[in-house]
Amino acid sequence: MNRIQDKLKENKKLLSIYFTAGYPAPDSTVKILQELEKSGVDFVEIGLPFSDPLADGPTIQASSTTSLNNGMSTEVLFEQLKDIRETVSIPLVIMGYFNPMLQYGIEAFCKKCKEIGIDGLIIPDLPVREYNELYRKTFEKYDLINVFLITPQTSEERIRFIDEISDGFIYMVSSASVTGAKTTFGDTQETYFKRIDAMQLKAPQIVGFGISNAETFQQATKYAKGAIIGSAFVKHLTENGVDKIDDFVKAIR
Amino acid sequence: MSYFVDENGYYGDFGGAFIPEMLYPNVKELGEQYLKVMSDPSFIEEFEALLKDYVGRPTPLYFAKRLSEKYQTNIYLKREDLNHTGAHKINNTIGQILMAQRLGKKRIIAETGAGQHGVATATVCALMGLECIVYMGEIDIARQAPNVARMKMLGATVIPALSGSRTLKDATNEAIRDWINNPVDTHYIIGSVVGPHPYPDMVARFQSVISEEIKIQLLEKEGRSNPDYVIACVGGGSNAAGAFYHYLDEESVKLIAVEAAGKGVDSGESAATSILGEEGIIHGSKTLLMQTKDGQIIEPYSISAGLDYPGVGPLHAHLCKTKRAEFIAVTDDEAMKAGLELCRLEGVIPAIESSHALAIFNVKKFKKEDIVVLNLSGRGDKDLNTYINYFGFE
């Protein structure tokens, strides 16, 4: 059983945090993961930085640029994470764009993830069709869960299809936007959250994009299984470094 | 071997639609509609009427006598430089604005590097009374001030791309982000044969009027519609796609794509994607692109802002891999010299992009009886400052 699947069975609303590996400092990756686990975060998305992150707003873009300038790369990240399972036991997901993975080699990338103890991948620009036809078998061979996204514009038919091929959770993008754009949720989001909830999908939904504080976390998890905070945490890292991570998490729930 | 796009949006190994889910409905809608719309008689009629009366088509196919004498062959120039707004770019923006109208879109976004596509987009938006937002790298805004002014005169809003290297690739990222944020009422007019399917095919079809005309015009002048060679410069590759399009299946016609070597292919300052590129994904398309071993996209260099793109359209990646087209890279110096030579021999000041194609005659020898058609994609007015600085005219 994959750690993500175990976690999704727990009878609580899940809090997940995203951060960009290699940010704010080249060697802060492991320290941040340890602090997040200590402060009670349920699972973490480790961002593999990319030069051209299409789905991200300015905050995550800037952290990616700094990280790359800090010398972060796929190889460096794997090296930093090689002993991570000695100190961190919550589920770990790598979130990154497809091109760096393609250059590393998909089979080699998945194999390395398995060795380290990575549980899943979120690849915003890997289309569902290509995944299913070309990469699904490789992901399964290495016990990796691929996480698909849905948005307010995704058709019901496509949501049903995505639900059917999801082995973990569905990443529910809160609004039509890049990351870090919204700071509050209105009626549009509420209606959308309700609509998806009423579909009774088999895969639990975790809401991402636009969750920045206790209020938006509450709103997002009223219907969904959990929520992911990204840009707001990256901003916190920019302002406070790797200290006070516990304060940030405790302020959310 | 097919050189045209398949039903999944691929040219052989290249193409596809590697886009975030947020863009899926937009791209799907366009993919389902574009062929239907383009084959609608009222669309064809309006498109052709605007190309004729507004853009000034057909553009001449001009026999360049003195250039031909110098290089001992027969050179025809397809005069895309004589189009309204000064380049082939407007063929595509006319087509896409009509597409946007038929899809019920109210807001137009575009990316631009040197500003030619931005000007062509701002022009058609003014023509149709649609809101126009153009993303342009902060660095390009500084070095292409006249085109920024043109766009503003035409009523467009120019938004600086402040991320990454602040040039064309980042302007494209920003335009895509805008589309993610405005998924319902906005159409994104991509300026080249790049991006997710169906863009490469749609833009190639709008530009294919170039080779459609060459066939007719060459038949009139030479009694044959197929030349021995068709030559065009390639950045993203839209003018080359248009010039090659109706010759792709005519294997007797040799196709030459001229890329920008910048300061030299091995200088570290180059845009010769076919030589320096590896297979990868940029702006939603699997293609050849310049990238690090780690898969990060490299900022290219060329004296020509229009060729300064780290990738190449998936059609061209396919033509390169299958060797249907020969890819040749020429340096800044070779291009600038060839540009000046055209001024002196034919009285035509070419865009620096087109000067790259012209440099072929110093790199490759053609036979005396060969008929060579070169696509002169744009005029050089926009490049006067670069020419002045390079040659020191005062």
> For B270-304, what is each residue's pLDDT tens digit?
999 999 999 999 999 999 999 999 999 999 999 99
pLDDT of residue B305: 87
First vs last C-alpha separation in chain B: 52
pLDDT average, residue stretch B95-117 = 96
Smallest CA–CA distance, residue A215 to chain B, in Å, is 23
Q: Does A177 touch chain B (CB under 8 A)?
A: yes
Q: Does A214 touch chain B (CB under 8 A)?
A: no
Contact B118, B124 (CB under 8 A): no
Q: Given an 8 Å threshold on Cβ–Cβ distance, is A52 in contact with B182?
A: no
pLDDT band at A39 (very low <50, low <70, confident <90, very high): very high
Domain A3-250 has CATH 3.20.20.140: no
Q: Is the pTM of this model over 0.95?
A: yes
Q: ∠ at Cα B155 (B153, B157), nearest 5°? A: 110
Enumerate domains of chain B plus CATH numbers. Answer: 20-50+89-203 (3.40.50.1100), 57-87+209-391 (3.40.50.1100)
pLDDT of A1 over the 80 cut: no
Cis bond before residue B310 (omega within 30° of 0): no
Q: Round the average pLDDT of chain A to a whole number and report it.
A: 96
pLDDT average, residue stretch A110-121 = 98
pLDDT of residue B144: 86
Torsion sign over Cα B116, B118, B121, B127? negative
Q: Given an 8 Å threshold on Cβ–Cβ distance, is A75 in contact with B163?
A: no
- Which of A54, A103, A173 lies closest to B294 in CB terms? A103
Q: Does A132 touch chain B (CB under 8 A)?
A: no
- Name every chain B residue with its beta carbon within 8 A of the beta carbon of A61: 163-164
Q: Does A73 touch chain B (CB under 8 A)?
A: yes
Phi-psi region of A19 (alpha: psi -120 to 50; beta: other; left: phi over 0): beta
Q: Given an 8 Å threshold on Cβ–Cβ distance, is B19 in contact with A125?
A: yes
Please report the number of interchain residue pairs, chain A to chain B, with beta-carbon separation below 8 angstroms: 112
User: What are the b/e assignments for A50-83, b being 16+ CB within 10 Å?
Assistant: bbbbbbbbebbbbbbbbbbebebbbebbbebbee
pLDDT of residue B165: 81
pLDDT average, residue stretch B363-382 = 97
Contact B254, B227 (CB under 8 A): no
pLDDT of residue B163: 85
Share of chain A above pLDDT 90, in %: 94
Q: Round the average pLDDT of chain B to a whole number and report it.
A: 96
> For B341-372, what is each residue's pLDDT tens digit?
999 999 999 999 999 999 999 999 999 999 99
> For B145-196, what is each residue's pLDDT tens digit?
899 999 999 999 999 999 888 889 999 999 999 999 999 999 999 999 999 9
Give the Cα separation of B352 and B344 in Å (integer): 15
Q: Given an 8 Å threshold on Cβ–Cβ distance, is A100 in contact with B177?
A: no
pLDDT of residue B167: 87
Contacts of B32 (CB under 8 A, 6+ apart): none
pLDDT of residue A183: 76
Q: Which two tokens stand for residue A208?
A: 């991402």
Torsion sign over Cα A60, A63, A65, A68? negative
Give yes or no: B111 in active site.
Answer: yes
Contacts of B383 (CB under 8 A, 6+ apart): B304, B351, B352
Give yes or no: A45 in active site.
Answer: yes
pLDDT of residue B114: 85
Compare all CA atoms of chain A with the CA of B280 and give the residue at the minimum distance: A99
